Every structure is written in C-alpha cells, then in structure tokens.
Amino acid sequence: MTGRANLQVFADTVLQLARMDGNVLVVTSDSRGSGKLVEFGRQCPGQIVEVGIAEQNLVGIAAGLASVGKTVYAVSPASFLTARALEQIKNDVCYSDRPVNLIGISAGVSYGALGSTHHSLHDVAALRALHNIVILAPADNFETAEAVRQAASLSKPVYIRLGKRPMEPLHKAGTRFRIGKAIQLRRGQDLVFFASGETVARAADAADQLARDGINAGVLSFHTLKPLDQEAIRREARRCGAVITVEEHSVCGGLGEACAAVLLEAGVGARFKIIGLPDEETVTGSQLEIYDHYGISVRGLAGTARRLLG
C-alpha cells in the first residue's frame, strides 16, 4: 500500500495544528504551491506569511515571530534554505535560540532532473556543524506527522527535510516515535542497515530480498540525525558485526560518517559501508534514476550487503 508524499503529510498536519491554535504560523519563500500550502492559505489566511524568493528574509522573519511566542514553520526548498540562509539559521535561529521549525522541502535529489543547483546533498552536513539544532529526516507518513507535531512543542530550533514522492507505510500500529531514538523495523543477525529519510524504504525492501537468500538483515530508521541515537548504533553494530548506512545525501558529513565516528570512538569493530551520493558532480535524472545509479536501489543495496559479508 502506497501512502502520500511526506510533504503533503506535513502540510495537512500543520493545517490541523493551525486550526487548533492561532499562534501557529507558516512563513514561505514563494513556496505555497510547492510546499502544498494552498489549502492552508485558503483556510487560515491570517496565519501564512509570504516573503517571496528571499530565503534570508524568510529565516529572519521566522526568528522574529518565534521570539514573540509564535509557533513558526519556515518553508522553503531545502537546497536554498540551507545554503542561501545558512548564516541566518546559524545566528538568528541557533545562536539566538529561537524555536523555529525550518522545513526543507524537496530535499536530497527530489528535484531530480533540475540538476545539482536544486539538489540538497549538503544540508545535513552543514546543519550538523551548528550548535543547538535538531535535524529530522522522516521516512514515511507516520514519522512525518509525528515529527511535525513533536517539533511544535520542542521549544528549540528544528530542521525537517522532506521529499515529495509518495511513501509506503513502514510501521506497525502502536509504534512509538521519539525524537532522538531510532526505530527498529527489522532485527538483524548477520548485518544491519542504518537508513534515514526516503532511503529507509529501499533498505527495508533490500532486507526482505536478502531474507529470501538466508541472510538476516536488520533495518533501523534514523529519523533523527541530530541528536543521533548512539546507543542504538553501538548495540546493533555489536550484534550484527556488519553495518551499511544509507542516505539521500552526500557521503561527506552525513549519517554514514556520523555513525562511523560513534563506532570508532566506542571501539566497536564492524565491517562498514556508507551508501549515499559520492563526492562528485551528481548525474541528472529522476530521483529514482539517481538512486539506482548510485546503488540506492533494492538490487544495489542487496548486492552491497552480499559483498560486505563476503
């Protein structure tokens, strides 16, 4: 069963919150359409601010609104929000401790064929280096709705990166979502996938394929990239002895390098492989074509697992 795009779930959830609380505001940089916020503007016209294509102003205005008690969601394409407005995120939001919810839409390679200018393969790396910000990359509709709701009450800066492809549900009823705690989708014995965002579904499908070959692969959804669930990383690496990290982000400075640092500092030895976008000019194509090119496919991940296990 295929669900909705995480981006649509964000828009629906923030609309629900705004109906209940007039202090919930959305600020956009000419992103009402791409952010699925047309209906929000129709139903809550007094709770949406349009700043035009001006990402630095977007963040500054959002920080100002947050400073007077508003619950603010600042919405803009991830590639621009975390590059053009990085200084404002650093100073106006993080350094000033303003509880702004920064929503990076069409993250990773969601814009696909528009090319590298529209890919956000740097955002996690850049923001991980900033003090005082939570970074979330939900995998499916359930994780997205929970991330948006919990971010509203966290009272600190939050960045949520969202894609626009319909996502299949990954979680059983009753699953608990806690910021800072990875969710275990499958328990492994031979190998474990640590994945984030829309790549989690690919890792889960690869684990299913490996199971048919007698390989027991675990899968963890790292919906929170900062603070990272270090205990889960150490525990699962010790149990399985082989780790593959999967992310829709550069291999430089993302989930993979963060997990490697945790394991090295803890003295945990494991066979280890980072799957993401390499440090080179990214090929142009649809999101799924780019995934397949760089091995973020079911076949590619299963093959990497087999090679890692020898």
Q: Report the alpha-carbon distance of residue 75 to residue 55 in Å, rounded.
A: 9
| Closest to 134 (Cα-Cα) out of 119, 154, 149 | 154
**Lowest mean pLDDT across 68-72, 85-89, 145-149, 284-288:** 284-288
Distances (CA, A) of 155 to 71, 158, 229: 9, 9, 20
Q: Rounded mean pLDDT of 203-231? A: 97
Query: Encoding tokens for residue 126?
Result: 């850049």
Supply the Cα-derived Rg of the chain in whole angstroms: 19
* Residue 256 confidence (pLDDT) above 70: yes
Q: What is the pLDDT of residue 113?
A: 87
Q: Rounded mean pLDDT of 61-76? A: 97
Q: Report the alpha-carbon distance of residue 269 to residue 117 in Å, rounded.
A: 38
Q: What is the pLDDT of residue 1?
A: 53
Q: Rounded mean pLDDT of 58-70? A: 97
Q: What is the pLDDT of residue 173?
A: 87
Q: Please write the tens of the pLDDT for every residue from 135-144.
A: 999 999 999 9
Q: Report the alpha-carbon distance of residue 216 to residue 107 in Å, rounded.
A: 31
Q: Please write the tens of the pLDDT for every residue from 29-48.
A: 999 999 999 999 999 999 99
Percent of the chain with pLDDT over 90: 93
Distances (CA, A) of 82 to 78, 246, 249: 6, 21, 13
Question: DSSP per residue over 231-263, as a string?
Answer: HHHHHHHHHHSEEEEEEEEESSSSHHHHHHHHH
Spatial contact of 227 and 233, defined as CB atoms under 8 Å apart:
no
Q: What is the pLDDT of residue 263?
A: 98
Q: Give the chain's domains with CATH numbers.
A: 6-161 (3.40.50.970), 183-309 (3.40.50.920)
Q: Rounded mean pLDDT of 174-195? A: 96
Q: Report the alpha-carbon distance of residue 288 to residue 96 in Å, rounded.
A: 39
Q: What is the pLDDT of residue 115?
A: 86
**Angle between helix 255-266 and 230-240 (nearest 10):** 70
Mean pLDDT, the chain, as a whole number?
96
